[in-house]
Amino acid sequence: METKPEVKLDLSWKERLQNEFESERMKKLRAFLVQEYKAGKTIYPRGEEYFAAMNLTPFDKVKVVIVGQDPYHGPGQAHGLCFSVRDGVRFPPSLQNIFKELQADVGAQIPKSGSLTKWAEQGVLLLNAVLTVEDGKAAAHQGKGWEEFTDKIIHVLNEQKENLVFVLWGSYAQKKASFVDRKKHFVIEAVHPSPLSAHRGFFGTKPFSKANAYLRSKGISEINWDLTK
């Protein structure tokens, strides 16, 4: 999306979000990003990865939605999926805690790579609220228009699908998806997996087995959460 007017986005999403892309808000956001690039700033993730979460998880394939906040702002980390890092990158603390809970919950081995691409390909939408960030500046792109765009994604999922699992870690994610219809969908809430809060109610919540139990109860194929298999 850098200086090009066209965005590469999976068709199933594009047709549902077309009006968003044509909104004044998104035009302003695009102009802001172009300006940032022209000023020589480094932005994560790469332009072709802004919409990686949706390109890896088309609308029709979504089973689980995990809501994050901002992309990682260190070199080589962010690649468009919340909580995920590229192969070969050291696990950030929140991801380490997610993997600890994953092992305790379903017995999955701690993987060597911190990439959650395998989850995304199985129907886990790993959606950050804000889809870009400036190098070294956490939350630099908050309030520029991304939040409304990702709100729309959650609204579309809530309205047009049934029997989704929404995994909301931390008060930010819980507030963002507070409108989700709990009669139609299953919502799993816990504190954020960051080291600051994980011991206050993240560990022991078994989100992965709970998600699968719900999918199974609805006749939907489960997620293989084990990234080593």
Residue 60 falls in the annotated catalytic set: no
Three-state secondary structure call for residue 128: strand
DSSP-based helix, strand, coil % in the chain, nearest 5: 40, 10, 50
- List the one residue out of 145, 152, 144 whose CA is nearest residue 127: 152
CA distance 198 to 201: 6
- Active-site entry in 10, 60, 70, 226: 70
CA distance 75 to 137: 11
CA distance 218 to 162: 10
Pull the structure tokens for residue 189. 């809430």
Longest dimension (CA), the chain: 52
Residues recognised as catalytic:
70
